[in-house]
């Protein structure tokens, strides 16, 4: 177990290092340099002025020096400085992290609460009308853009209840009820989409388990359907579901990017979009790296959970 | 040739292969949901090809006199804040969505497919290194990667296509590689090898054609998410630039602003996106079950 964890940590670190190279080079692919883009709206910039700015931003140095410098900065926890706000990025990002984490956690919760039961029902009632209805319901979740679903939810609330969601972020200490409403709606919009994948994998995994001998034994013992399905079958069907929830996390962040924008929630994902639109590249670079770290850590965590959920899984052999 | 191939086959006692239509009818009977998805995609294709015929107004002509009008006999789905006809814009949007979706899916799948083919065929250390590099690309959320890519490349249709295709590459490479791994061990490949056929020829002439099933499944599965990512990028202002009417951008800030006064501005483009993605997902699922049963449930 211990060697397995160390092995996985080393692989995770190597992957992160690779990601940093990918992110760094992708952003250097941009036609023209950052200064050109920054000043494209300002019209003419004299060459000497441009040179001075490039020197100040440190982008007149060779790429590998810039890269090494960036890595060293990140290792010391320095997220760089924002062009737009002219202050350290970490100061801007830190208050945004809890918002995104809360939204991500709520969305995952909704996704599991919707996805697992519908998947179970769909598998147990395989090929009935109910199964078809639930499958279409979940496929619809995959098809609807989360940001559109969010807009429609807001629109429905405004039209039918005359209720306008708060335009700015409400902290839980200010007004807990309003805060909850503000988070539940976007979490539902994102969670519904993620629930579709969980539902599909629960269904197919449960269908496979239901055909196994020990399930027939359980039926033969005269146990009730509820016990057979929820206690015997689901326990073993959950492993792939956990994997999907882990993979889902990367997917979820994609959903958050636009949903935070639609619902005007001051989270990391919305900030990333703003930084991209403002061409604030040092911030983009660091935020994407931050997302990569979160994704890799969540994958690692899921792999560790395997051993807890399924004692048959042995690490490192 | 005096005797056709079909005649030879019949003479040899083989039953003639069922025609295309019979195959389609059988598919529709066995997979009604998949067939429904196929019909949706067909409708989208026809709309995209005949957009000029189907439009009722010029999709980019503004009309100050008729802004934010609700659905009517003249404007079937109403007009937007600039007085542009929503129905005609959605019809033309189908072309943008389909072109960007299909082009990026094909580009990503072909590049990924070639990488998967070579990586799976060569095997060994090359394969190991390639897989780790793909891991890196796949670790980033699809949308985030596409977002950064399209911002870096700048707003243009071909850049959006490239930005969406890059995240597809590792996914495509995975699928094709796994199917190459099993084909590589087949006897006919061994036979070709023992005849002294060169490696590249084996890979491209003997193995590649047999991955076509996985390839089709892969493409239909990715098409839906490509359309969705295009819509999202355009919504955020990083996708297809003006004047092309894109479904995603029809939903952007301006639509949200007028949503209360004119809900049709928000509803119809979103329904168009959802139906397109829904259709390709349904078709993709059914094709996967039919052509590549090993992938079922994945």
Residue B15 located in a structural domain: no
- Domain with B195 in it: 54-65+85-295
* Nearest by Cα to B149 from B239, B73, B65: B239
Measured between CA atoms, the residue of chain A closest to residue B279 is: A143
- Residue B298: is its pLDDT beyond 50? no
The whole-angstrom distance between residue A153's C-alpha and the CA centroid of its chain comes to 21
Residue B10 located in a structural domain: no
Q: How far is B246 from chain A (nearest CA, A)?
A: 14
pLDDT band at B43 (very low <50, low <70, confident <90, very high): very high
**Does A18 touch chain B if contact means CB atoms closer than 8 Å?**
yes
Residue B47 located in a structural domain: no
Residue B33 located in a structural domain: no
Contact between B236 and A273 using a beta-carbon 8 Å cutoff: yes
The pLDDT, as a whole number, for residue B11 is 52
Q: Tell me the CA distances in angstroms from A217 to A147, A182, A238, B15, B88, one per residue in order.
A: 47, 48, 20, 45, 61
- Residue B1: is its pLDDT beyond 80? no
- Residue B276: is its pLDDT beyond 80? yes
pLDDT band at A38 (very low <50, low <70, confident <90, very high): low
Q: Find the mean pLDDT for residues B209-229.
A: 88
Residue of A26, A131, A133, A145 to mutate, interface with B, max B Cβ within 10 Å: A145
Contact between B296 and A288 using a beta-carbon 8 Å cutoff: no
Which among A18, A136, A145 is the nearest to B273, CB-wise? A145
- Residue A75: is its pLDDT beyond 90? no
Measured between CA atoms, the residue of chain A closest to residue B135 is: A15
For chain A, the C-alpha Rg in angstroms (whole number) is: 24
Which among B235, B277, B282 is the nearest to A147, CB-wise? B235
Residue B21 located in a structural domain: no
Residue B173 located in a structural domain: yes
Contact between A23 and B297 using a beta-carbon 8 Å cutoff: no
- CATH, residue B225: 1.10.3720.10
Dig out the tokens for B279 from the structure.
């259709």
Residue B58 located in a structural domain: yes
Window 274-293 of A: residues touching B by CB (8 A cutoff) are 276-277, 279, 284, 288, 291-292
Q: Find the mean pLDDT for residues A234-242.
A: 82
- Residue A293: is its pLDDT beyond 70? yes
Q: How far is B141 from chain A (nearest CA, A)?
A: 5
- Residue A216: is its pLDDT beyond 90? no
Window 35-74 of A: residues touching B by CB (8 A cutoff) are none
Residue of A14, A30, A254 to mutate, interface with B, max B Cβ within 10 Å: A254
ipTM for this model: 0.82
pLDDT band at B114 (very low <50, low <70, confident <90, very high): very high
Q: How far is A120 from chain B (nearest CA, A)?
A: 14
Tens-place pLDDT, residues B63-108:
777 777 778 888 888 888 788 888 999 999 999 999 999 999 999 9
Tens-place pLDDT, residues B4-24:
555 555 555 555 566 788 888
Contact between A144 and B274 using a beta-carbon 8 Å cutoff: yes
Number of domains in chain B: 1
Contact between A132 and B33 using a beta-carbon 8 Å cutoff: yes
The pLDDT, as a whole number, for residue A267 is 87
CA dihedral B153, B154, B157, B162 (to 10 degrees): 10
Q: For residue B148, list chain A residues with Cβ-Cβ distance below 8 A.
A: 23, 26-27, 276, 284, 288
Q: Tell me the CA distances in angstroms from B111 to A208, A223, B115, B172, one per residue in order.
A: 34, 53, 6, 8
Contact between A250 and B139 using a beta-carbon 8 Å cutoff: yes
Contact B124, B188 (CB under 8 A): no
Dig out the tokens for B271 from the structure.
């329904």
> Tokens 């995240």 appear where?
B167
Which among B143, B153, B273 is the nearest to A148, CB-wise? B273
Q: For residue A289, list chain B residues with Cβ-Cβ distance below 8 A.
A: none
Residue B106 located in a structural domain: yes
pLDDT band at B113 (very low <50, low <70, confident <90, very high): very high
pLDDT band at B47 (very low <50, low <70, confident <90, very high): very high
Q: Give start and end residues of each alpha helix (H) in B50-123.
A: 51-54, 86-122
Higher pLDDT, A276 or B164: B164
Measured between CA atoms, the residue of chain A closest to residue B166 is: A26
Dig out the tokens for B292 from the structure.
């590549």
The pLDDT, as a whole number, for residue A42 is 59
């Amino acid at each position: 177990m211990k060697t397995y964890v160390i092995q996985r940590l080393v692989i995770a670190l190597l992957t992160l290092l690779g990601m940093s190279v990918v992110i760094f080079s992708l952003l250097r692919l941009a036609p023209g340099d950052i200064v050109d883009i920054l000043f494209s709206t300002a019209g003419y910039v004299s060459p000497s002025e441009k040179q001075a700015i490039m020197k100040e931003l440190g982008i007149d140095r060779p790429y590998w020096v810039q890269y090494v410098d960036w890595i060293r900065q990140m290792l010391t926890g320095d997220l760089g400085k924002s062009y737009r706000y002219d202050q350290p990025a970490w100061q801007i990002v830190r208050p945004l992290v809890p918002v995104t984490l809360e939204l991500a956690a709520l969305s995952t919760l909704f996704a599991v609460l919707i996805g697992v039961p519908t998947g179970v029902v769909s598998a147990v009632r395989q090929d009935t009308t109910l199964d078809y209805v639930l499958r279409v319901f979940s496929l619809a979740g995959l098809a609807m853009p989360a940001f559109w679903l969010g807009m429609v939810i807001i629109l429905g609330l405004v039209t039918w209840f005359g209720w306008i969601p708060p335009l700015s972020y409400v902290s839980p200490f200010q007004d807990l009820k309003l805060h909850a409403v503000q988070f539940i709606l976007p979490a539902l919009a994102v969670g519904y989409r993620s629930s579709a994948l969980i539902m599909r994998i629960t269904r197919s995994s449960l269908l496979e388990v239901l055909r196994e001998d020990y399930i027939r034994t359980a039926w033969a013992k005269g146990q009730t359907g509820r016990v057979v399905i929820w206690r015997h079958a689901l326990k073993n069907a959950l492993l792939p579901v956990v994997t999907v929830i882990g993979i889902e996390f990367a997917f979820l962040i994609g959903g958050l990017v636009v949903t935070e924008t639609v619902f005007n929630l001051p989270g990391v994902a919305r900030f990333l979009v703003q930084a991209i639109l403002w061409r604030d590249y040092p911030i983009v670079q660091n935020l994407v790296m931050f997302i990569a770290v979160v994704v890799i850590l969540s994958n690692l965590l899921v792999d560790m959970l395997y051993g807890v959920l399924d004692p048959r899984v042995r690490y490192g052999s | 040739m005096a005797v056709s191939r079909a005649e030879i086959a019949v003479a040899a006692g083989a039953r003639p292969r069922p025609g295309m239509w019979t195959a389609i009818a059988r598919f529709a009977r066995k997979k009604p949901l998949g067939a429904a998805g196929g019909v949706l995609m067909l409708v989208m294709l026809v709309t995209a090809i005949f957009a000029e015929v189907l439009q009722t107004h010029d999709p980019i002509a503004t009309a100050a006199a008729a802004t934010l009008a609700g659905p009517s006999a003249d404007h079937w789905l109403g007009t937007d804040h600039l007085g542009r006809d929503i129905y005609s814009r959605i019809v033309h949007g189908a072309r943008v969505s389909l072109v960007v979706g299909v082009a990026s899916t094909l580009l990503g799948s072909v590049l990924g497919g070639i990488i998967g083919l070579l990586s799976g065929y060569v095997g060994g250390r090359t394969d190991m290194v390639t897989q780790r590099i793909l891991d890196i690309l796949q670790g980033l959320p699809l949308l985030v990667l596409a977002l950064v890519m399209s911002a870096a490349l700048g707003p243009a249709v071909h850049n959006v296509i490239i930005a969406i295709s890059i995240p597809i590459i590792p996914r495509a490479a995975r699928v094709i590689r796994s199917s190459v791994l099993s084909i590589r061990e087949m006897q006919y490949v061994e036979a070709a090898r023992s005849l002294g056929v060169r490696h590249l020829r084996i890979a491209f002439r003997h193995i590649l054609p047999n991955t076509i099933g996985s390839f089709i499944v892969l493409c239909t599965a990715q098409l839906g998410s490509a359309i969705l990512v295009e819509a999202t990028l355009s919504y955020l202002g990083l996708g297809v630039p003006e004047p092309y009417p894109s479904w995603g951008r029809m939903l952007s800030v301006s639509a949200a602003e007028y949503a209360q006064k004119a809900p049709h501005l928000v509803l119809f483009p979103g329904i168009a996106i959802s139906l397109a993605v829904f259709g390709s997902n349904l078709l993709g699922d059914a094709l996967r079950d039919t052509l590549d049963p090993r992938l079922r449930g994945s």
